[in-house]
Structure 1
Amino acid sequence: MPHQPVLPAKRAFARAMRHEATEAEDRLWQELRGRRLDGIKFRRQVPIGRFVADFLCPEAMLIVEINGSQHADSPGDIRRTSELNRLGFRVLRFWNDDVLNDMTGVCDTIIAYVRDASLQPWR
C-alpha cells in the first residue's frame, strides 16, 4: 500500500475512534488483533485519504467496515466505498448483528476475501 501523508487532525480522530469502538468493533478486533485470524495482519481505525477505515488488511488491500442500521443504503457509504475502490481497496461491510451473532461466519468470510483477491464484496 503506498504511503499517503495523514493530516495530524485525521490521525488524532483515528486514535480517538480506537477508544470509542462499538461492541461489535471491539469483539471483531479481539478476533483480528495480533494475527489471531489465520495469521493475517490487520490494523484498526486506519486513516485512508479523507476517511478512517474500521479495519484494514494492507496485504490484501481489504477494508472491513462494521455498520449499524444508520448505514442502511446510505448514500455517504456508497460514495465512500466508491472512493476507496478508486484507491485500490475492496470494502467488505458487515452489520453489527452479523458480528455479534455469527462471528464464525464473519471471520470465515474475511479469510476468504483476504485469500482470494478476485472476490468482490456484495454490499
Structure 2
Amino acid sequence: MAFSFLNKLLIIFIFIFISLSSSSPTISLVQQLSPEIAPLLPSPGDALPSDDGSGTIPSSPSPPDPDTNDGSYPDPLAFSPFASPPVSSPSPPPSLPSAGVLLISLIISSASFLAL
C-alpha cells in the first residue's frame, strides 16, 4: 500500500513540476530588461565591438583594497576565540518555508488523515 502511495506522490510532484515549468511565459532577456540596461548588453546578431573606446563606460578610481592591512589600526571584526563576537545589527528574520515544502507537508498530512 505504501509503495503505491509513494508512486502516486511521485507522479503528483512530477505533474506539478512540469505544469509550473511549462506555464511560465518565455520572454527574451532583452524584453525583460529596462531600456537603460538593454543597450549595455550585446544582442545575438551583433558583430564584435570595435576597440575605438566609444562603447566602453569610463572607469573611476577604485576604493582602497580592504584586504591589505597596514597594521596602523586593529581590525574591528577580529575578536579572540574566548570572547563573545562583537555586537552588530540584529540577525535577519527567519525565512518562510518554500511553497514546495508546504505542498509536501500538506500532501503527507492529508494522506495520513485519509489512511485513518
Does the alignment reach a TM-score above 0.5? no
TM-score normalised by length of structure 2: 0.18
TM-score normalised by length of structure 1: 0.17
The structure with the greater share of residues assigned to helix is 1
Of structures 1 and 2, the one with the larger relative CO (CA 8 A, separation 6+) is 1
